[in-house]
Every structure is written in C-alpha cells, then in structure tokens.
Amino acid sequence: MKSLQKAVIDDFKKQFHGDVILPNDPTYEEVRKIWNAMIDRKPGIIARCKSVADVVEAVNFARENGLLIAVRGGGHNIAGNAICDDGIMIDLSLLNQVKVDPQTQRAKVEPGCTLADVDAATQKYGLATPVGINSTTGIAGLTLGGGFGWLSRKYGMTVDNLLSAEVVTADGRQLHASETENADLFWGLRGGGGNFGIVTQFEFQLHPVGPDVLSGLIVFPFEQAKSVITQFARFTETAPEELSVWMVARKAPPLPFLPEAVHGKEMIALALCYAGDPAEGEKLIAPLRQFGTVLGEHVGVQPFSAWQQAFDPLLTPGARNYWKSHNFTQLSDGVIDAAIEYAATLPSAQCEIFIASIGCATSRPTPEAMAYSSRDANYVMNVHGRWDLAEDDQHCIAWAREFFAKTKPFASGGAYVNFLTQDESDRTESAYGPTYARLQAIKKQFDPHNLFRMNQNIKPA
C-alpha cells in the first residue's frame, strides 16, 4: 500500500462515490474498529461503499493494484476477517436497507445490515428468517458461513432460507446467483464464506413468527449442573421443532430476577424460545423447571425482536474474544463432565460455555445440498472466551484450548466456520468435509487468483 502513488488514490477517489478514508483522516481510527478488540490491523485505505457501483470500483481498484482485500459487513467475525494490514477494507456498513414483501414473504437485504435491521423490518409483518442470537451481528458474514439461531429447529439454517444473491466477483462482474442462475456460485455461497465474491444483496424466505413469542431464561445452581445438563441433553433430543432450548454455563450477571447472593457466582441457565402458540409453549417448557432448584427465572411472552437482543449486553464491542467450537450429534457424559469441569474454572467473569440445540429442520438437507455440510450437528458448542485486558490473553486462551481438546473425542466431524478463530485455518477443510473439493473447483472458476482470501480460505483447485 505504501508504494501506491497519491495520484493513483486521487484517481480512485474521483471514480468512487462513497467515502475513501486514509490513515491520516480524522475518522480512520473509529471506522477501522471491529467487534473483537484482539484484532488490531491497519488497512492502507478504507472504501466505504454507498452503492453496488462503489463495490465494483473498489474490487477493480484492489485487483489492478495488487491490494489485499478485507470485506466488512457487520465487523463481528471472531477471526477479524473484516480488516487487514496495509491493503483495502471494503466497508459495506452503509449499505443497510431491507425491503420486505409481505405477500410473497420474502426480504431483500443489503450486506451492511445487522440482524437487528433485518428483524425490525420483517417483524413489522409478523415475519422472520432464522438468524443468530446477537442483534449486532452482520447478516452477510452470518449467512455466508451458515447461520443458526432460535428459529433454526423449525425453519433451518440461514442458508437454507437464502433464495438468491447479487454478487460482485473478483473480475468485477455483477452476477445474480440462485438455484436456476449461476447455480454453482449459489451452491458455494450457502456456507462457503466470502470466498467467491462480495454479496451486495441477499434474498431470504420469511416465515410467520410472533411478533410475540414465549421466551426467556431459567437459572439453576451450579452444584446441580450434572443433573440439569443431562436432563437438558435428553429433553432436547425429543423436543418439538418449534421449541429451542440452549444451555449456558457462566458466572451470573447482576440480573434483577436473580438473588443478589448469586451475582458473580457460577450458574447454569437454560435459554428458551418457542416459535408457536405461547399457551402451548408454556405446557412444553413446564418440565424444564423440574430439572433442579430454580434460582430465578424470567420467562414470558415478549416481542421476538426483543428476545433477539436479550444477549447483546453480554456481547458488546471492545472486549477481547477467543472462541473454540465443536459440533456434536449427541451430548455424552464425557462432554457434560468436561463442560462442568471447565465452567468451574472460568478465567474471567465474561467467559462462558454455551451449547445450542439445533437439529430438526437443520438436519433435513443432505450434506451435499450446499456448501454448509454439517447436517449431523444436533448441538453446537461454543467455548466463548471473553475478557478486557491484554495481559489475560495467555490464561484465557489456554483455558479455551484445553477445554476444546478435552471435548474433541466426543465431537462429530465438521465445524461451524463462523466460530473459527484466526489461528484455525487448518480446520477449514475438515469444516466443509464432503463439499470441500467442489468448493475448490468453484473457487477456481470465480476467483482463480484468490483475491478474496481474508476469510476461512478455500484455495482454488
């Protein structure tokens, strides 16, 4: 980047209608920030796109000048792929419009949208598509890596609900990708990350949801962890697809419905959401309260969009984050015992272990139906290391890695690419499993020179 002449950058600025931000600009430091404070890279140029034409211009400029490209949607990716050193950050965050057609139950979503943007637009009509559980996450990265959340047991992965995409490829072309047009590209986009181009519009299938749903938390004492988690594991094997129950082990935040004596102490929480008639949901969740001694609960009927934001305060930007993740077909005693052992030694008050229950609709497509192939994953566990000070890096990372290693013998194949950190590039091939060879062939077709490599990279065949 340092070798680029001022005249070259000035010429780019004339062609580009968005904002071109350089390291000496007053907004540079703020704009380059991403969610994970462990990632501190300094791009040579930030191109904030205001149109699809800007995206094309930025890609062509990067290719012609040999620049490394990082693409920022929500900037939430744990590995920090939204930002690079010296190259160009193509920032899509200003492209954040959602258009909903309530008749066809479809939404067209720009790549700078967060999950909150999508939920706000679709819930006006009592509609939703399965997305993640932290509303500040970007829709683009979430979707391209697979995407799952409270609605996935009933309606599948986010990629299962992707109907089409508009894509800018490495050679600057604008392509429409769907089951019937550029079908190979569409196949690869559904789980293959940002390897094949920059998506400038997603089209999603929507489903009737809410706008009010039964949801909330039931909290149990940590001493009863073995009993509670074992019963959670058995319950979720046969729970109806409308009901999602996830397990969280962490130190209790100062929640108003918990006794003060519990604040800061280890706890087990069951987080739940029922995508159906709340009265029916109440009957179905009654057994959960018998799993142990309930320390406190906050369960009721609330707007789905509010429940989607319930965990935002625990995941604000600016902390240091390091994750390790496994998929499981079932939760064996070995997994449960390891979870309890490591939850008892959390290295910071912000660290947690969560186990998401998926399966049902996420299991129905075949592994080869699209790039996302982990269809045997009934549970996704994320070891969520989170802390504030750089001097705690070694201790917190070691804790996450040890727990990951201890639970590896019980894991199924594959991995959820959105949870892979920057030091896990060796897991990319195994994450895709049976679809990896085809992904390499598609990469060769649409990005033969690996221009888009700031991602969980698939090298061209």
**Which residues is 327 bridged to in the sheet?**
380
Is 320 in the same domain as 378? yes
Per the structure block, which two tokens stand in for 400? 């996450």
Is 50 in the same domain as 112? no
Domain assignment present for residue 426? The answer is no
pLDDT at 3 over 70: no
280-301: string of b/e by CB count within 10 Å (b at 16+)?
ebeebbeebeebbeebbbbbee
Give the span between the Cα atoms of 29 and 73, in whole angstroms.
Answer: 17
CATH at residue 113: 3.30.465.10
Helix (H) or strand (E) holding 369: none
Domain assignment present for residue 452? The answer is no
CATH at residue 44: 3.30.43.10
Is 226 in the same domain as 297? yes
Find all residues with CB under 8 Å of 202, minimum gap 6, and list them: 108, 109, 111, 139, 140, 143, 162, 164, 165
Is 110 in the same domain as 171? yes
Provide the Cα torsion 400, 428, 360, 304; round to 10°. 70
Stretch 111-138: mean pLDDT: 98
Is 259 in the same domain as 352? yes
Is 155 in the same domain as 20? no
pLDDT tens column, 268-291: 999 999 999 999 999 999 999 999
pLDDT tens column, 85-96: 999 999 999 999
Name the pLDDT band for 5 (thresholds 50, 70, 90). Answer: confident
92: left (phi over 0), alpha (psi -120 to 50) or beta: alpha
CATH at residue 266: 3.40.462.20
Tokens 């039931």, residue? 218
pLDDT at 130 over 70: yes
C-alpha gyration radius of the chain: 22
pLDDT tens column, 295-332: 999 999 999 999 999 999 999 999 999 999 999 999 99
> Whole-number mean pLDDT of the chain?
96
- Number of Cβ atoms within 10 Å of the Cβ of 437: 10
Give the span between the Cα atoms of 234 and 291, in whole angstroms.
Answer: 11
DSSP character for 325? E
Instruction: Give the CA angle between residues 22, 24, 26 to the nearest 5°.
Output: 95
Domain assignment present for residue 178? The answer is yes
Give the span between the Cα atoms of 423 and 132, in whole angstroms.
Answer: 23
Is 11 in the same domain as 77? yes
Is 142 in the same domain as 193? yes
Amino acid sitting at position 190: R
Is 240 in the same domain as 387? yes
89-107: string of b/e by CB count within 10 Å (b at 16+)?
bbbbbebbebebeeeebbb
Note down the domain range covering 377.
212-419
Domain assignment present for residue 61? The answer is yes
pLDDT at 371 over 90: yes
Greatest CA separation for the chain: 70
Examine the fold and report which residue of 52, 72, 91 is the final residue of a domain before the chain moves on: 91
Domain assignment present for residue 405? The answer is yes
- The total number of structural domains in the chain stands at 3
Domain assignment present for residue 329? The answer is yes
Q: What is the pTM of this model?
A: 0.96
Give the span between the Cα atoms of 116 and 134, in whole angstroms.
Answer: 8
Is 134 in the same domain as 68? no
165-191: string of b/e by CB count within 10 Å (b at 16+)?
bbbbbbebeebebeeeebeebbbbbbb
Contact call for residues 177 and 197 (beta carbons, < 8 A): no
Per the structure block, which two tokens stand in for 186? 């569409």
Stretch 183-193: mean pLDDT: 98
Per the structure block, which two tokens stand in for 417? 């690419």
Domain assignment present for residue 454? The answer is no
Q: Using CB atoms within 10 A of its CB, is residue 405 exposed (0-12), middle (13-18) or buried (19+)?
A: exposed
Tokens 């009863």, residue? 224
Per the structure block, which two tokens stand in for 237? 């094997």
Find all residues with CB under 8 Å of 14, minimum gap 6, and list them: none
268: left (phi over 0), alpha (psi -120 to 50) or beta: beta
What proportion of the chain, given as a percentage, has pLDDT over 90? 97
Name the pLDDT band for 1 (thresholds 50, 70, 90). Answer: low
Domain assignment present for residue 139? The answer is yes
Is 271 in the same domain as 411? yes
Tokens 């077709």, residue? 445
Examine the fold and report which residue of 37, 72, 91 is the final residue of a domain before the chain moves on: 91
C-alpha closest to that of 202 among 151, 131, 278: 131
Give the span between the Cα atoms of 289 and 292, in whole angstroms.
Answer: 7
Give the span between the Cα atoms of 441 and 432, in whole angstroms.
Answer: 14
* DSSP letters for 213-282: EEEEEEEEEGGGHHHHHHHHHHHHHHS-TTEEEEEEEEEPP--TTS-GGGTTSEEEEEEEEE-S-HHHHH
Name the pLDDT band for 358 (thresholds 50, 70, 90). Answer: very high
C-alpha closest to that of 272 among 293, 252, 251, 286: 286
Examine the fold and report which residue of 74, 91, 108 is the final residue of a domain before the chain moves on: 91
Stretch 134-150: mean pLDDT: 98
Is 223 in the same domain as 366? yes
